[in-house]
Each structure stands twice: as structure tokens, then as C-alpha cells.
Chain A
């Protein structure tokens, strides 16, 4: 053909720009794909590249390639490329899209990848309505690994792991992914197309383009399932394989759109703008401004107070400890607060360890408490022996059982809950005990206790009650001391 004649023609259909000119990531044959002659993957690649070109989104596109014969899709597509683990492309795509909402994220998966190992990821990405596009190449077999059965393998179809053909009894029925996903509320567009003849190919190209365009328009989740020939594993010529798609595969997997809300789906709202960097510490509540001023405890002497609070859930055990720890912090001390944790938490017991010290605290676990707060009898039984001589036991009960009687330490046994009842609410019993504790171990200034309470108890009615409870507790302890003959 002479140049003069050729010049009268212009390219109408040529290599899409979204493909690299040379496939430099391949070692050899840098102008050919690695696919077998007649492989559907190549055809689908071309449709996708064509759509990217037509929509003018090459710079924004990020392709997630799967594990399967199309693992090397990134050899060909001149777009951002991420190669993901087997079956996980929808999870990867989800996070890529949410991280870079302006990008156009296309997940590309085979039927083993999507419908077997990755069935959870595709289901949930679809159900969340992720604004991504999924191209699902269904060739009814595991090709890359040499032809094992796939969830989409047809009944009776032979594979290396169904040598006598797939049987419903053993492998179940071919999985209809498009129909399945179309039962979900969120997806915008789900269509099954084929590569079985010219008409099907034209429809497939149209569908691929729409699935991508939906994302550009911000509509949401779109998936195109492509019935795709694998001549090699099917042991057919490319043309036979194409016919098989149309004449056999299509009978199990009917073509058509199973969901199409492209017309009425609203575009997804853009994510809210991020706050200024300077505002972050305030948003997290860790900014210096607004902090409660710590006081410098006037007493500089050694402090090492170890407290164990034990009782049942609902008795305010943890809060008691927390107020104590907060007050210690306010008073400029080192503090630790450790809630009961693990097996101890079972059967409704509640329990915490609190330490206040001048020096850094070695272990937050309190083994020998200077003060044991026992909110009930089982707790008293469990821990009364752990208190060292000279320590305190504050017991929420009338009388200490004989087994727990000890002469070498101080015991204050009162029905603190009833005391609190008289003040207005039995639930403030924990604060009555805390008052007694503060009085017994005079380390913390009242200002620190007030500050801690103000920080932890926001309801003014409760705050007032807790303050009265604390005062009452202090009184109870003082009264008890008056009756005691101090030795030494």
C-alpha cells in the first residue's frame, strides 16, 4: 500500500493510551502480554484501558491486581498499580479509595480470587457500597494454578481436582456472584456480560465503561462479571473456547444487569475537610490549655501508698480508685491505677490497684496494700491476709468475721452503703469509704480531691452528694480513732 493511500486513513481503533507502549516490567517479549493466545483476560484488559482513555482518568486511576493469571496486570496498565494478596483486592481497594478519594480505584479479580478465598472481602466491600469498580473475570476454573475447581466451575465440568466432573453433592453448585451481590442494598451497578461473540463483546465493553464511569460520578459500588474464555485450561482452541462461553457457560450464568441504579443513585458526599494541624491536640483532649493545674504538694517527704479496692461490679470500686489516682496526680505525685483484669473479672467481681508515690512506681500491681478497701465479705476474705502489719482495712460491713480479725492493723468496719443511703443514695458508699481512706492516710490535700472529683463527676447532683459522702467518711474515721487507744 502506498504512502499516499495510507495517508487518507486515520487510526480509529489502536492501542489504548492507558497501556504502556512497552511492557518494561516484563523481562522479554515486551510488546506482548503474558496471556495465552485467545485468553479473555487480554480482551478485558483492552476494554478497561479503553474506558480509562475515554473517561480521561489515566492519572487518577489505581489498579489493584489479584493473584491469578492476571497478577501481572501492572505490566500493562500505565496507571498507579498495587498488587494485592489472593482474594483481598476489595479490602485493598477499599482503603486505597478511602485514603485517596479523588483516585479511581479498580479491583480486578478472577473467580477463584473473588468467589472463593476472597468471598468475604467482596461481599463486604459491596455491602458497604464502596465507591470502587470491580472487574470480575469468571473463567470457571483456577487457571494460574493449573486448572483446579473454582466455585464457578460448571456442574459436570472436569478439573484437576474434580477429575470426574464437578458434582453438586461434593462441591456444591456453581456460585452466582452477580445474583448474590444483587441482593445487597448498596451496590449501584452489577452486570454479567460474556465474551462469547461480537454482540456480547460489544455489550461487555459498554458495561466495563459504565462500571468505571459510575465511580467517576461518585455513585458507588459497581461490578461487572465477565464470562471469559481460558482456552488453555479448558483444552480448547481460542475459537472453541469463545463458543463454549456462549453455548455452555451462559446457560449456567445468564447474562444481564442484576442491579442498575445508575440513573437515580446520588453522588456520594465528599469526606469532611481535615482540621488544622494546630487543632489536633485540642481535639484529642491532650492540649496544655484547659489542663487542671497541678499543685506542688507541700509535704516533700516520702510517699508510697498502695491501695487495693475490691468488691462487686456496680459498687463503684473502679471510680473510687480513679478519684484517688486523679487526686494524686493533681498533688504532683506519681500514680498508677490498674483495674482487675482477666480471670479476676469473671463472676462479677471488680477490683483495682492504686499506687501513689513520690518516686517512679515500679509495679502497678499491689501485692501488700497499705489500705485494703473491701466492699463485701468475699473480698475481705480474699485479701485480708495481704495487708501488712500497721496497715488499714476499710470494710463495708457491721462486723469483721473472726477469720479476718487482726490485731496488728487498723480495721474500720461500717455499713458504708447504709451510711450513704442516709445521705441520699447508697451508691455513694464508695465515696464514704474514700473519705475514710483519705482521712486515714493524710497525704492528699483536699484541693486535689476536689479537683479530681470535679473532673470525674460531671453531674452536679452527684457531685454534691459525693462531696457530702467524702466528708461523712472522714468523720466516721475520726470518730473511730477517738475510741481507739493508740499504742506507740
Chain B
């Protein structure tokens, strides 16, 4: 297959169109604007709709409308824009409408800055809107994954009739790497629940209102059942050189790339270090963590946030193993050097030969 050098932000749009996406409604925000711009270029060429909305609030409600009308649809935004979309995302989850949202994160809170941060984890993974719902969240760490996980996002969105977020950072969006695309485009198809302005679909209703407590409870339980199935089936994580690892580094997005480089160097030094990279942030790959916990001594979460994913790692491990944490925020990227230093320290602690020495030091 043809390998092409391409930016992650462009790969998302091309993959989306190949996956049958025929609607894009968005509002510009750095560092997600390139996605919106690529969509503006390509969607009209494939018979799709591109519209720059008046706000993220309008954009997400346009997604609501397009999805209700049976079209595969997406948007792209970042931090504050995603915050503005939360009511609409909750409505879509409540009305069981599929859509794909690319969140190319930036620094916060407030206006923060436009550098890469991972502070959107809570608002995206925990469902920043109101009510008992979840969004499925995929976290690419390469340009190829920007394409592949976008395609997966559309499938999952349809399968679960729920919004799916592709959560990436500015690095993954901006960088160019070789990427391969499927050559056959997916035929956009009309779901049978869609309200399409036809005789067959006349009886259909898209709504998220259940006035009766019993009915809303039943609805929430049904959503829960879907999420439960997703937890069983869709959780993904990449294990990288974890065989024999005593220290496992945990991170997603660009951080995972840094962790792989650090682990490679640590391994070359003879340290037993591997990487566990959550690919789905919801459902969180709890099982992979629990399995690794049986043979790993310590987990090290590295995040460009003040510990948002850390909470999920701790929940997954439930105290089974200690969890160390290295955090950079504000647009600073955890440096290779600082992670390696921590890894060396932790790995040394695990080496039995060193233990008496350390005890010695402790007694002096």
C-alpha cells in the first residue's frame, strides 16, 4: 500500500471521509484548526457538507442534527471549545446519536496557551457534560493511528450510537509520519432510526427527554448496559517491551512516544523497563493493568496534566502496585532526561544486589 508523509491533522480528515463521514461542522481553534481547514477543502469535493459554525455550541448541535438525519458526521476542537460542546455531547449521548469529535488538546485552564497539554482528560474521558453518560475515547500516538483510530471511531460511534472522541495533542496533529489508507471508501449508509424526511422514517423520533423517573431510569440503565459491553469488548492498550519488565511506564499520546524512547535507552542500560500505553481511555484498559500488576513491581504514570489519567490507573490497580507519577503541565513536555532519571532511580531500587547498599546508606 502507498505510504505517504502526512500531518496527523490531515490524516484524520482523509480517514474520516474514507470512513463515510459526509458532514463536518466546526469552529476554529488552535491547534485543531488544520482539521477544520482540511475538512473545508475535501468534504465539498465528496458530496459532503462543511460548515464553519458560529460557535462550538452551534457546531455540536449541528452534529446533533446531521447525526439525527443519518449522516456520519464529525467536528474538531480543543480545550475551551470542547467545554462549550459538553451540553450537546450529553444530548447526543442521551439521544443515542453517533458522532466523532477530534480533540487536539491545548493548555488550560481558561485561555491557557496553545501548547500541548493533556488537561482535557477529565472533561472528555469522564464525560464533562451532565448526566449519566460516557463518551468512548481513543488516544492515537502516531499519524497512522490518527487515521486508523478515526476509522475505528466512526465504527464504534455507529455500533454504540454514542459520541466517540479522538483525543490527541498538538504534536500528533502537527507531525508528519508515513501513513497508509484503505483504498476502498466506506459507503455512507442511512441508519434505520434516522429522521431522514422520508415516508419510511416518518415515525422516527430523536429525543433525550424522559419525563417519568422510571422511564429515565430505564433509559440510563440501557445506556449503562451499552457501556458495559464496550468495556468488555473495546478496551485496548499497547504493551511495549513489558516482558520481564519491573518498571512499567504509562502514558498516552505524544508522552507514550517519549516513554518508548526512554524505555529503549533504559533497556540498553540493562534496566527492566517497559511501556503500557492505553489506546482507549474510555473504556479504560483496566484488565491489562491488572494482568501486568501480577508481574511488575511499580508503575510510573507520566502525563502532561496534574494527574487526570493517574486516577484511572490507580483505580485499575486498586492498590495492587505502587504508582509513581511524573507530571508536566503548561505546555511543557516531560523531557527524555527527567523520565530516564526517574526510571533509573526506580529500577535501581528493584535490583536486589543494590538493596544492602541502600540499606547501608540508610543506616549511616
Residues of A within 8 A of B (CB): 25, 27, 58-62, 64, 71, 74, 78-85, 88, 91-96, 98-100, 102-105, 120-121, 123-124, 271-275, 277-278, 280-281, 283-284, 286-288, 291, 294, 322, 325-326, 329, 334-339, 341-343, 361-365, 367
Q: Given contacts A121-B61, A286-B2, A286-B14, is CB(A365)–CB(B333) below 8 Å? A: yes
Asked if A95 and B175 make an inter-chain contact with CB atoms under 8 angstroms apart, the answer reads no
Asked if A25 and B205 make an inter-chain contact with CB atoms under 8 angstroms apart, the answer reads yes
Show 20 residue pairs from A and B whose CB-CB distance is below 8 angstroms, ordered by the A residue.
Answer: A59-B199, A78-B202, A80-B196, A82-B206, A82-B207, A85-B88, A100-B69, A103-B196, A124-B54, A272-B47, A277-B185, A280-B185, A281-B18, A288-B183, A329-B4, A336-B176, A338-B171, A341-B174, A342-B113, A363-B336
CA separation between A78 and B205, bound complex, in Å? 10
Residue from the list A25, A58, A84, A343 in contact with B61, Cβ < 8 A = A84
- List of B residues within 8 angstroms of A102 by Cβ: 197
- List of B residues within 8 angstroms of A99 by Cβ: 22-23, 49, 65-66, 69-71, 73
Residue from the list B44, B65, B184, B187 in contact with A92, Cβ < 8 A = B65
Does B345 sit within 8 A of A, measured CB to CB?
no
- List of A residues within 8 angstroms of B183 by Cβ: 281, 286-288
Asked if A81 and B61 make an inter-chain contact with CB atoms under 8 angstroms apart, the answer reads no
Asked if A96 and B18 make an inter-chain contact with CB atoms under 8 angstroms apart, the answer reads no
Asked if A283 and B45 make an inter-chain contact with CB atoms under 8 angstroms apart, the answer reads yes
Could you tell me the distance in whole angstroms from the C-beta of A93 to the nearest C-beta in chain B?
A: 6
Could you tell me the distance in whole angstroms from the C-beta of A395 to the nearest C-beta in chain B?
A: 24
- List of A residues within 8 angstroms of B44 by Cβ: 272
Does B261 sit within 8 A of A, measured CB to CB?
yes
Does B37 sit within 8 A of A, measured CB to CB?
no
CA separation between A287 and B182, bound complex, in Å? 9
CA separation between A287 and B12, bound complex, in Å? 16
Does B121 sit within 8 A of A, measured CB to CB?
no
Does B62 sit within 8 A of A, measured CB to CB?
yes
Of all A-B residue pairs in the complex, the 6 with the closest CB atoms, nearest first, are: A103-B197, A274-B47, A342-B115, A95-B65, A363-B261, A362-B260
- List of B residues within 8 angstroms of A94 by Cβ: 51, 62, 65
Interface size on B, residues (CB 8 A): 84
CA separation between A104 and B260, bound complex, in Å? 54
Does B3 sit within 8 A of A, measured CB to CB?
yes
- List of B residues within 8 angstroms of A272 by Cβ: 44, 47
Asked if B207 and A286 make an inter-chain contact with CB atoms under 8 angstroms apart, the answer reads no
Could you tell me the distance in whole angstroms from the C-beta of A347 to the nearest C-beta in chain B?
A: 14
- List of B residues within 8 angstroms of A329 by Cβ: 3-5, 178
Using an 8 Å CB-CB cutoff, how does the interface string of B241-262 with A read, 1 for contact, 0 for none? 0000000000000100110110
CA separation between A367 and B263, bound complex, in Å? 15
Could you tell me the distance in whole angstroms from the C-beta of B17 to the nearest C-beta in chain A?
A: 6
- List of B residues within 8 angstroms of A64 by Cβ: 65
Does B123 sit within 8 A of A, measured CB to CB?
no
Chain B residues 128-181 with CB under 8 Å of chain A are: 170-171, 174-178, 181
Does B209 sit within 8 A of A, measured CB to CB?
yes
CA separation between A281 and B1, bound complex, in Å? 13
Q: Given contacts A88-B57, A95-B66, is CB(A325)–CB(B197) below 8 Å? A: no
- List of B residues within 8 angstroms of A338 by Cβ: 171, 174-176
Asked if A291 and B336 make an inter-chain contact with CB atoms under 8 angstroms apart, the answer reads no
- List of A residues within 8 angstroms of B1 by Cβ: 288
Could you tell me the distance in whole angstroms from the C-beta of A127 to the nearest C-beta in chain B?
A: 9
Asked if A120 and B58 make an inter-chain contact with CB atoms under 8 angstroms apart, the answer reads yes
CA separation between A397 and B73, bound complex, in Å? 52
Could you tell me the distance in whole angstroms from the C-beta of A344 to the nearest C-beta in chain B?
A: 9
Asked if A364 and B171 make an inter-chain contact with CB atoms under 8 angstroms apart, the answer reads yes
- List of A residues within 8 angstroms of B47 by Cβ: 271-275
Residue from the list B25, B58, B254, B264 in contact with A121, Cβ < 8 A = B58
